[in-house]
Amino acid sequence: MARVLVTGSADGLGQMAARRLGELGHDVLLHARNQDRARDAARGAPGARGVLIGDLSSIAETRALAEQANAAGSFDAVIHNAAVGYRERRQETADGLEHVFAINVLAPYLLTALVPARRIVYLTSGMHRGGDADLSDLQWRRRRWSGAQAYADSKLLDVVLAFAIARRWPDARSNAVEPGWVATKMGGPGAPDDLSLAPETQVWLAVSDDPRAAETGELFYHQREQEPHPAARDVEVQEQLLSACERLTGVALGAGPAGTQPGAAPRAETIPWTDR
């Protein structure tokens, strides 16, 4: 039995993955952004251990969420599912950050640093191949806003993050998953791909004994490796993203999950906050 944390599990693919993990007999902890959504999560995956609450648009709430998670013990796997989509207008969070980047990229980075696990799964999208790897305007202060481009950029950076973690943490298994264009709230009712298959690859990567699920630094679609955007494997881009996330959160990545014991403090280093 594996212990798995699934972010964004109040509905959609996160809830489907959490429910599937429960059906397979695993110990699942859910996540929602507020109390109302926590009730949705608990109803949708009734066999789960419980629900953690934290708004991933907030650095402070994400740090508090990590504290809740670590208080519950260590995790064999974390599935970073929570995200906002491509129809969003530009908004700034309480931290003064563009919210698609804050939720889709910065929060997974911070949770990875503070809640290390041996298997880490980041949800991306086929739209990542249209993403821009130029990190000079992550907050969209100079560019004309495009929700679709902001989403594509964030999903590219999720793959970059997955590959960076795989390189930095050789004892972990860090991968990205394209679930397909499916009929969730984000995907819309006309999405053509098979919804029943959409949560299966992230569940497989999180808990399966299949040797193929022990790969690291790969992009998967329906349990098959896919070729990502070329920038995802660029070490310079990876290091630029990690450095930017360190500056924004005040948390360095640390040494990873090697030697982590249940209840142990996360192996990340808090660094001074800098100007955003």
The distance of Cα 165 from the centroid of its chain, to the nearest Å, equals: 12
Alpha helices in the chain (DSSP H): 12-23, 35-44, 59-71, 99-101, 107-114, 147-168, 200-207, 235-249
Residues belonging to the active site: 151, 155
Measured CA angle at 158 (ends 82, 186), to 5 deg: 40
Closest CA to 124 of 67, 168, 86, 72: 86
Measured CA angle at 142 (ends 138, 144), to 5 deg: 100
DSSP code of 144? P
